[in-house]
Amino acid sequence: MLSNGVEDRHIDALTKVYNKEYFLGKAEELFKSNPDIDFCIVELDVNRLTMINDMYGLGEGDRVLKTIASVLLETFEDVDHSLVCRMTADLFAFACPYDEKKVIGYIDKIEDKIRILSYDLSVDLLMSFGIYRVNDLDVPVSSMCERAKLALSSVKGNYIQHVGFFDESMRDKAVEEIEITAKMNAALIGREFKVYFQPKHSLDDERIVGAEALVRWMSPDKGMVSPEKFIPIFEETGFIMKLDAYVWEETCRFISEKQAMGLKVPPISVNVSQIDLYNPNLVDTLVGLTKKYAIDPKMLKLEITESAYTESTQLMLKVMQKFHDHGMEIDMDDFGSGYSALNVLKDVPVDGLKIDLKFLSETSISNANKAKRILASVIHMAKWLGIPAIVEGVETAAQVDHLKSLGCTMVQGYYYAKPMSEEAFVKYIETWSKDDNFEVSKPFEEAVINPDEWWDSVSADCEPILEMNTCHILFDLGEGGELDVVRASDSLYDIIGGRERFFNAPFTFLDMVDDKDTARFLTMFDNINDYHTIGSSIFRINLDGRTIWADAKVRLLEKYEGHRVFFAVIDDITKSMEDITK
């Protein structure tokens, strides 16, 4: 830890913990003077610090960094043989004796204290941790820190798994990343990146209703490089902006050239990375390309990942309005793979939702029936909101049949076609085209529930709907009485202490409800028999020694296969109830 005798030049001026240079020397001294002790180095990164700086100013960002440093100092105050430092802007590190349970315990304490800090902001302060166990004292401490950082990188952006452990395969991956970074600019100049197209099909008549432009790297010495290898690196370095611009122009060129030849080209979607949104010339660039190549703006659809909407909502609203003013349409990509977007869908005028079937297989949910109910609920929710939904990652006839039974009308995936080159795509269009009009009408114009009435009537008695103490939840009630949470806003996970509590343990929403209130809470659902009744119940949540009073407003959304799906707004009224009972 720090001591009064340490010179100022060894201390980080802002956070008052060791700076990187002094930490490296002290750690080497600590490890070598205690050869009988197993040590580890843990690096931790503050996600979204840039967003906090943008939203609240650099002063608020500095306050966050100073608070995190004080949390670290407090956590290791009584831990012998420990060191704490600030490595770079939002990257901290600590060294301590290695005991996996104890180290995870330290991390839990740090996160709990940081979570309390999050309540002062409208942005969650998420942390990622990378652990390197010291097993070779001949390795420079700087290299040990790099390995801890590699472990951190393996979980950064993962909202369920936030702690990574170093293994040797990570070092091999780091070498590969260096090679990719060194070659990327030359590859762009040399046109080694090729645009491939993956068709989108209607389930009604199987005709092509669109396509997605994807990028492939044809390296002269390595052959085809997988996008899974280079896209994350390009996103981290910012090179993705150059690559995106290249793909946008190649796509516009393709549409223009083929239309001039008389080919009936469908609308083609291009990806817009989150970092692109911060480019002040983004709208002018894309609109300018449609003008340069004289194509209808609706021929170039935009796909932006769900996380961009939830992390940069106000920015997205401004950008979307500008695109809509120019006649361009925007789909929310990877819906369900990141933060819940229930709140966002109410306010952000997306033109479509893309749902990836792989999301269900990659989660820790082992119950196949529950996974199917999640998919069904999301598709039905899109229907109720009047938003077209397309499911990607469709690979089997059984999946196609199941999606048809759920009312899904558009799909994309290997079952119909893999991504293909320009030449192959042209032949594919000629084979599958069945009419001259590729315009896709919205499939859910006659929703069972008017979306505006649905949101407004449920939220009217529970204002303000977007406050941090309000949860938005989709419940699935089975005929056997089981009550599943199939989707929720982040405020629910804040209350229970993280998403993993639901996913990694036999834990249900009813486990939180006070036993005295369970029967009344379930009766509320039983009394809702039509789509216009709003159920209400006040109940207590008991969790980790805390009691939270909650007020639920619930509405029925769908009945299917013995299940009923409900939308609920649950408001924390603890303070009001405590005032009443004083």
Query: Residue 322 pLDDT more than 80?
Result: yes
Q: Which residue has the tokens 């990659």?
A: 362
Under the banding of pLDDT at 50, 70 and 90, the label for residue 6 is low
H helix runs in 293-329, sequence order: 306-311, 313-325
For β-strands 223-225 and 208-219, DSSP reports them as: antiparallel
Contact 471, 543 (CB under 8 A): no
**Model pLDDT, residue 23:** 96
Contact 50, 126 (CB under 8 A): no
Q: Which residue has the tokens 């370095």?
A: 237
For β-strands 193-202 and 389-392, DSSP reports them as: unpaired
Separation between Cα atoms, residue 538 and residue 551, nearest integer Å: 4
Contacts of 288 (CB under 8 A, 6+ apart): none
Contacts of 275 (CB under 8 A, 6+ apart): 235, 238, 240, 241
Of the listed ranges 98-102, 317-321, 339-343, the least confidently predicted one is 339-343
Separation between Cα atoms, residue 567 and residue 553, nearest integer Å: 8
Stretch 97-125: mean pLDDT, rounded? 81
Please give the C-alpha separations between residue 135 and each of 103, 104, 388, 424, in angstroms, as whole numbers.
Answer: 16, 19, 54, 52
Give 400-431 pLDDT, tens digit per residue: 888 887 778 899 999 999 999 999 999 999 88
At residue 497's C-alpha, the angle toward residues 103 and 581, to 5°, is: 130
At residue 335's C-alpha, the angle toward residues 329 and 336, to 5°, is: 165
Contact 417, 428 (CB under 8 A): yes
Separation between Cα atoms, residue 557 and residue 564, nearest integer Å: 8
Give 145-168 pLDDT, tens digit per residue: 999 999 998 888 776 788 999 988
Contacts of 425 (CB under 8 A, 6+ apart): 196, 197, 199, 211
Please give the C-alpha separations between residue 221 and each of 183, 192, 217, 232, in angstroms, as whole numbers.
Answer: 11, 11, 11, 21
Q: What is the DSSP string of 485-502?
A: EEEE-HHHHHHHT-THHH
Contact 244, 271 (CB under 8 A): yes
Separation between Cα atoms, residue 140 and residue 44, nearest integer Å: 20
Give the percent of the chain with pLDDT over 90.
42
Give 493-520 pLDDT, tens digit per residue: 776 766 666 655 566 788 889 999 998 8
In the chain, the domains with their CATH numbers are 8-166 (3.30.70.270), 174-432 (3.20.20.450), 451-581 (3.30.450.20)
